[in-house]
Amino acid sequence: MAEQGFAVLILAAGKATRFKSEHSKVLHRLAGRPLGAYLLETALEAGPESLYMIVGHEAEEVQKAFARPRLGFIEQKKQLGTGHALLVARPELERMACDSVVVLVGDAPLLRAETLRALVAAHRKSRAAATVLTTRTKNPQGYGRIVRSGGRVRAIVEEKVATPAQRRIQEINSGIICFSRLKLIEHLGKLTADNAQKEYLLTDLIEIFNHHRLKVAAHLVADSREVLGVNDRLELAQMEKVLRLRKAEALMREGVTILHPECTYIDAEVKVGRDTVIEPGVSLLGATMVGEGCTLRPYSTLSDSLLGDRVTVRPCCVISSCQIASDAVIGPFAHLRDGAVIDAAARIGNFVEVKKSRVGRGSRALHLTYLGDASIGERVNVGAGTVTCNYDGEKKHPTTIEEGVFVGSGSMLIAPVRIGRNSYVAAGSTITEDVPAESLALGRARQVTKEGWARQREALKPYINIAVRGSGSATVFDLSGRLTLGDPINQLRAEVRPMIEAGRRNIVLNLTKISYIDSAGMGALVGVLKAVREVNGQLRLSGLPPQVRVLLETANLDRVFEVCADEKEALASFGSTEGS
């Protein structure tokens, strides 16, 4: 009689409590894929007759992530333990025709399909009610210990309730158990939540089976890493390192050079051709495929992209969802995205972004360029600083550059626009209309040169120079430039104030070299006069230029200030005043 098949139940309903996360554990990313994807693929490869995943927390997201043609889902709406998951699955268990059911935890990514098949074979051979998949480890801390007697499993004892002798046992429970389906159904109802965890526990079935004198066997796995789970983020990182190194080792055995595997990140589904060299810091993610003889320089990230043969990706490029044909050169610091296609022998240089565009064979865009929604023919040169202006604020528009076109540096191509074959666009042009084939397009304003403009501008700048010197009991401030609103009047105040505070009460403001003074400057002079008078000092204005004197007289300030013809007269006036 032909041997019956077996069924697999994957437990994936729980919340990642020890991850301290709001998300389902099986959805956490591991080496580019959801954690649960590894065990699911192993289960599918093992060839079960029936395959179910029991979901609960984030059930909708989990089903969306793991939907497969041969996979069914059972929802555990209340997560009351691993045993409760089987109680929820009981209707499906009763409908199955197979004789054995393997219960898997969803966080054992290194488990092999061969191990699952060997577990089922050992279970059938032993004619046990249940067979526990076990392993031995030198550091069993945190795991349930397997207590044997007479070759049978008598108990699975959790560490926190284990005796000192039991804690020394190195054989541990993997959480994976193969059951006789009929025996499981018969005794499933005997599970209770009368335990420390207040949950229905899968491992309690071992005690129940022993109580009813049913045989419980163990199948030992030699490589303990194969069945160790991922219980927190630390173990997730450790598992990530294991998987990525395994991937790197597999590629190196197939003829790929990886200079520093520990610093290279390659997802499980990535394919790389022979004689490709991958330098440190490179990330190859998703479904990326790299051809033969490529060179991937440091710190570039490629995701879901297809590279032909002999492609060079220079340092620090970001390439996502793109196709790059053979002999192309990309970067450094290039960004290719959203379905960009780079044809053979094309070159994309530093600080060039290509979005949703095709760059033809042998074409070049080497510096500081944006190509968005563009179709670029063969042998096109795109000069530095060129931008395809594809977005008008509401819609994206295409730019077409036919073969043989030369686009000069700093050109703005306002889409929608077409540049005909073998045409030239002059540097600095703004192109808003189609350019016929074999034409020159020049779209920039005529240059205007204003001679002497910089000198005139400099003369109009608000500046003032102030030199301070003593002359007997007086302090002379030599002012030159423009006394106007802003820095000039602030500078005057900042120079005068410390002198007054230091007891220098006789002040001369020498205005001989003042070229202009505005109303704010006049106000500043009045402010100085007020400050001097507050300390019973004296202020003289000397050497007023004609234009300043006119302003003073117009504002009737010549009656307020003591105005002297020159500095000598001003200094002399202090002596006569002091002597009077």
Active-site amino acid positions: 367
Residue 153: exposure state from Cβ atoms within 10 A (0-12, 13-18, ≥19): buried
Q: Which amino acid is at 253?
A: R
Structure tokens at 106: 């969803």
Q: What is the CA radius of gyration of the chain?
A: 42
Q: Which amino acid is at 311?
A: V
Structure tokens at 155: 């108990």
Q: Are the beta carbons of 278 and 307 closer than 8 angstroms?
A: no
What is the C-alpha separation between 457 and 102, in angstroms, rounded? 87
Q: How many helices and strands in the chain, by DSSP H and E?
A: 14, 44
Element spanning 236, H or E: helix 233-253
Place of tokens 């051979």: 125
Beta-carbon neighbour count of residue 198 at 10 Å?
9
Q: Are the beta carbons of 413 and 386 closer than 8 angstroms?
A: yes
Q: Which amino acid is at 511?
A: L
Q: Are the beta carbons of 282 and 267 closer than 8 angstroms?
A: no
What is the C-alpha separation between 312 and 325, in angstroms, rounded? 11
What is the C-alpha separation between 127 and 148, in angstroms, rounded? 17
